[in-house]
């Protein structure tokens, strides 16, 4: 039985946790390597400080809560994506047909993999979030991996991408490396006959390094969300990270109207629920964008603090130049250190399930400075012992 059909049957037979385990095993078997179905949420358990999941946890602002709650009165009607689509389009300076709302960025990868089954040479640039490759494999694609070397700070080298790759996935900023690739390098990967997918799930966490002005001037450096001149470009966005909406499932794709129409054709009917649409519209307003910028500026300061503390520790190296809500850390024996951290109350993300990394890597979420200080203190004690 094909893997996808088998996973579907398992979903009917068992609970969600078992389905995920089984899906992970299928992905692993299909890929013949790291467990692509492993995600940070599997590392978290009650009582642990969560440094494994990159979702921001903070009180929901009124401008977001009010429309989500109000939408609960409309649940007897089927969802109407038009207002949210128009709001997201306005945010990114695009016409509405260049926006496709999805049940989280994760659904976007599935739509791309399913709609573009005709791709001859799909390539995924790693290390990166593993769901694009998992979705491609589940749709029957033979996936080629391009591995960016740690020695080069995981920076994107366009020469590594085969010239005839007709479907290319890159993350920016990239999970788990936190590296932000220059927009010009990414657009250099576009060419006629190629679909270039840039996963900007964490673009709203970035700020221009030289930004010293007010938060609203810090923009989203290197984002391609508003670029309508790049052939074959599809930008994937998520609203689940900064706004703590992982359980609501909301994201969107940006790209040429004809290409998005092909993706919409394979999307289940009413895929995005009414409360998620209310959230998408609210998160596209100038108030939301200004709030996002303030959060990103604060995050940059918290990240600088975490990086400074980590680099004081002997044998600990922070990869590349981190630009997002997490940092990637190299230390010998990180797999054993991760288990010791769990015993001391901290969940961090293992690195070995990302293609291109291994057991000497960990990903750590950026939190407030007090949490980072406490974490680094415990890590120092473990390393000393």
Ligand X SMILES: Cc1ncc(COP(=O)(O)O)c(C=O)c1O
Least Å from the CB of residue 381 to ligand X: 30
Question: Residue from 52, 106, 195, 328 that binds ligand X (CB under 6 A)?
Answer: 106
Q: Which of 37, 127, 251, 275 binds ligand X (CB under 6 A)?
A: 251
The distance of closest approach from Cβ of residue 170 to ligand X in the complex, given in angstroms and rounded to an integer, is: 11
Distance CA 72, CA 93 (A): 29
Chain positions 337 to 366 lying near ligand X, rule: CB under 6 A, are none
Q: Determine the residue with CB nearest ligand X.
A: 104
Q: Judged by CB, which is closer to ligand X: 39, or 227?
A: 39
Strand 99-102 and strand 251-255: pairing? Answer: antiparallel
From 34, 81, 171, 356, residue interacting with ligand X (rule: CB under 6 A)? 171
Query: Should residue 243 be labelled a site residue for ligand X when binding is judged by CB under 6 A?
Result: no
Q: How far apart are CA 153 and CA 131, in angstroms?
A: 23
DSSP 200-232: -TTGGG---TT--S-GGGS--TT--TT--SSTT
Of 218, 282, 214, give the one whose Cα is nearest residue 245: 282
Q: Which of 175, 206, 218, 353 binds ligand X (CB under 6 A)?
A: 175
Number of chain residues interacting with ligand X (CB under 6 A): 12
Question: Residue 99: which H helix or E strand, with range?
Answer: strand 99-102
Six-digit token string for 203: 């673009």
79 in contact with ligand X (CB under 6 A): no
Choices 29-37, 103-111, 183-191, 369-377 (CB under 6 A): range interacting with ligand X: 103-111
| List 246, 280, 299, 365, residue binding ligand X (CB under 6 A) | 246
97 CB contacts (<8 Å, ≥6 apart)? Answer: 257, 260, 261
| Opening angle at CA 149, ends 148 and 150, nearest 5 | 120
Binding mask 184-213 for ligand X (x = CB under 6 A): ---------------x-x------------
Per-residue HEC secondary structure of 143-162 comes to CEEEECCHHHCCCCCHHHCC
Buried-exposed string 162-194: b where 16+ CB fall within 10 A, e elsewhere: eeebbbbbbbbbbbbbbbbbebeebbebbeeeb
Q: In this complex, which beta carbon is closest to ligand X, that of residue 201 or of residue 307?
A: 201
- Our finding on whether 260 is near ligand X (CB under 6 A) is no
Interface residue with ligand X among 49, 52, 113, 129 (CB under 6 A) is: 129
Beta bridge partners of 43: none
Nearest-approach distance from CB 326 to ligand X, in angstroms: 9
Q: Would you say 38 or 194 has its CB closer to ligand X?
A: 38
The stretch among 17-25, 178-186, 209-217, 238-246 that binds ligand X (CB under 6 A) is 238-246
- Closer to ligand X by Cβ: residue 129 or 375: 129
- H or E stretch including 264? helix 257-264
Q: Is 101 one of the binding residues for ligand X (CB under 6 A)?
A: no
Q: Is 166 helix (H, G, I), strand (E, B) or coil?
A: coil
CA distance 47 to 65: 27
CB nearer to ligand X: pick between 104 and 320: 104
Q: What residue ranges bind ligand X (CB under 6 A)? A: 104-106, 129, 171, 175, 199, 201, 238, 240, 246, 251
């Amino acid at each position: 039985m094909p893997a996808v059909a088998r996973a579907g049957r398992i979903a009917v037979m068992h609970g969600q946790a078992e389905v995920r385990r089984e899906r992970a095993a299928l992905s692993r078997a299909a890929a013949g390597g790291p467990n692509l179905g492993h995600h940070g949420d599997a590392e978290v358990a009650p009582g642990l400080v969560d440094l494994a999941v990159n979702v921001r946890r903070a009180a929901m602002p009124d401008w977001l809560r009010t429309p989500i709650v109000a939408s609960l009165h409309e649940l007897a009607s089927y969802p109407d994506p038009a207002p949210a689509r128009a709001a997201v389009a306005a945010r990114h300076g695009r016409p509405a047909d260049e926006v496709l709302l999805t049940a989280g960025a994760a659904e976007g990868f599935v739509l791309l993999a399913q709609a573009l089954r005709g791709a001859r040479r799909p390539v995924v640039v790693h290390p990166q979030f593993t769901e694009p490759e998992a979705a491609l494999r589940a749709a029957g694609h033979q996936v080629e991996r391009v591995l960016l070397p740690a020695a080069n700070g995981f920076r994107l080298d366009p020469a590594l991408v085969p010239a005839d790759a007709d479907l290319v996935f890159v993350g920016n900023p990239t999970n788990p490396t936190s590296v932000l690739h220059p927009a010009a390098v990414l657009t250099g990967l576009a060419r006629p006959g190629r679909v270039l997918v840039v996963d900007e799930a964490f673009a709203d966490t970035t700020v221009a390094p030289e930004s010293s002005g007010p938060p609203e001037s810090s923009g989203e450096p290197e984002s391609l969300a508003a670029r309508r001149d790049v052939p074959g470009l599809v930008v994937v966005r998520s609203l689940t990270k900064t706004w703590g909406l992982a359980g609501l499932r909301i994201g969107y794709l940006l790209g040429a109207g004809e290409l998005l129409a092909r993706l919409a054709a394979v999307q289940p009917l009413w895929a995005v629920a009414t409360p998620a649409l209310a959230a998408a519209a609210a998160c596209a307003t100038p108030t939301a964008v200004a709030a996002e910028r303030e959060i990103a500026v604060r995050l940059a300061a918290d990240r600088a603090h975490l990086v400074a503390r980590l680099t004081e520790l002997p044998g600990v190296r922070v990869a590349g130049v981190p630009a997002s809500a997490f940092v990637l850390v190299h230390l010998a024996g990180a797999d054993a250190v991760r288990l010791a951290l769990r015993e001391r109350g901290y969940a961090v993300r293992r690195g070995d399930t990302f293609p291109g990394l291994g057991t000497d890597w960990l990903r750590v979420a950026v939190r407030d400075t007090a949490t980072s200080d406490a974490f680094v203190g415990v890590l120092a004690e473990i390393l000393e012992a």
